[in-house]
Structure 1
């Protein structure tokens, strides 16, 4: 096996090993995402696409070369020459075997190279989807907790409003009773006030009559005094 096909075989074995490791069931996609987020991969990420497409081109060239070799040694001309010389027949079959081997090596290497990239992409997508689903689940749980807290707050608020309404109705009833009591007291006070005014008016009239009687008596007293004085003068 030449050096290039030895390198292709080693690359194929490495791809098989990498794919087997990536398919290990007890290593989750999140762990692979953490591994792919190392600084080394971040440093290599600008060159990753170039390396990927370069390897694809190399493997395609090797695959086409292997196809050409297979067609070359499986055609009718080498077979006719091999029928003449038995040693050449074995040599041609050996070349055909090597060409077919190289075809399988390059083909499977190309196929596994595409599969490896797809597996890595799917692992990253699964890890991202898992993280998003975990974040969404956390948001949903947070929203449910918040909704339950709001429901409890609304229930307590309703209970508080009902209690306040009951207390306000009791206060309003008490105030109504007090207003009715005050209205009764006011009516009583108005009656007392009217009675007081009537008594004052009666006292005024009585005092006026007493004043008139006093004036009359005073005049009569003056008249008696004047009459007594005139009698005394006559007697003298």
Structure 2
């Protein structure tokens, strides 16, 4: 195996190990996000896209080269040379095997490179979604607590209004009783005033009658005095 294909094979083994580690179930996406937020990754992040596309191009070139080799050694021309020189049969099949091996190595390396990039992206998205969902859950819990508090306040307000209504109704009933009592007292006072007016009128009439009787008696007294004087003069 040449140096380039040895490097591609080690790269494939490294990709398999990284994917197995990323798929470990007890390491959560949030923990992976914390790992991806280390300073070393922040330092490498400007070069990540360049490295990613460079490796894709290199693997595509190697894959096409291996595909060309497979087509080369599986075509009809090498078989014609085998018929001419039978000793080349094993050599051609060895070349074809190496070309197929290189094709599989480069193809799986390219595939796992894309899968690794996708897994890392999905882990970051899942971690961000979990953080957002935790924030939304906190907001929902806060809204639920506020709604419960508002409901409790409404119940307390309704109870207070009900108590105030009962108190106002009791006060209104008491005021109604007092008004009825005052109305009765007012009627009694009106009756007393009417009776007093009647008594006053009766006393006025009685006083008037007494005054008339007094005047009559006074006139009779004067008349008697005048008669008495007239008789005294006659006797003299």
Is 2:133 the partner of 1:133? yes
Q: Which residue of 2 aligns with 1:104?
A: 104
Farther off after superposition, 219-228 or 154-163: 219-228
Q: Which residue of 1 aligns with 2:17?
A: 17
Once the two structures are TM-superposed, the CA of residue 116 in structure 1 deviates from its matched residue by 0.7
Pairing 1:1-236 to 2, within 5 Å after superposition:
1-82=1-82, 84=85, 86=87, 88-206=88-206
Farther off after superposition, 189-198 or 91-100: 91-100
Corresponding residue SS for 1:49: helix
Q: For this pair of structures, how many residues does the alignment match?
A: 235
Deviations 1:135-181 (A, max 9, x none): 44434444443333333333333333333333222222221111110
Using the size of structure 2 for normalisation, the TM-score is 0.78
Distance (Å, rounded) in 1 between the aligned partners of 2:233 and 2:106: 180
Once the two structures are TM-superposed, the CA of residue 30 in structure 1 deviates from its matched residue by 1.5
Farther off after superposition, 109-118 or 96-105: 96-105
Once the two structures are TM-superposed, the CA of residue 52 in structure 1 deviates from its matched residue by 1.9
Once the two structures are TM-superposed, the CA of residue 220 in structure 1 deviates from its matched residue by 8.1
Q: Which runs of 5+ in 1 are unaligned?
A: none
Deviations 1:174-201 (A, max 9, x none): 2111111010001111112222333344
Q: Structure 1 residues 186 and 74, CA, compared in 2 at 3 Å: closer, same or farther?
A: same
Once the two structures are TM-superposed, the CA of residue 131 in structure 1 deviates from its matched residue by 3.0
Corresponding residue SS for 2:27: coil
Deviations 1:211-232 (A, max 9, x none): 6677777888889999999999
Corresponding residue SS for 2:51: helix
Corresponding residue SS for 2:32: helix
Once the two structures are TM-superposed, the CA of residue 75 in structure 1 deviates from its matched residue by 2.6
Once the two structures are TM-superposed, the CA of residue 102 in structure 1 deviates from its matched residue by 1.6
Distance (Å, rounded) in 2 between the aligned partners of 1:57 and 1:233: 178
Aligned-residue Cα RMSD (Å) equals 3.3
Q: Structure 1 residues 209 and 41, CA, compared in 2 at 3 Å: closer, same or farther?
A: farther
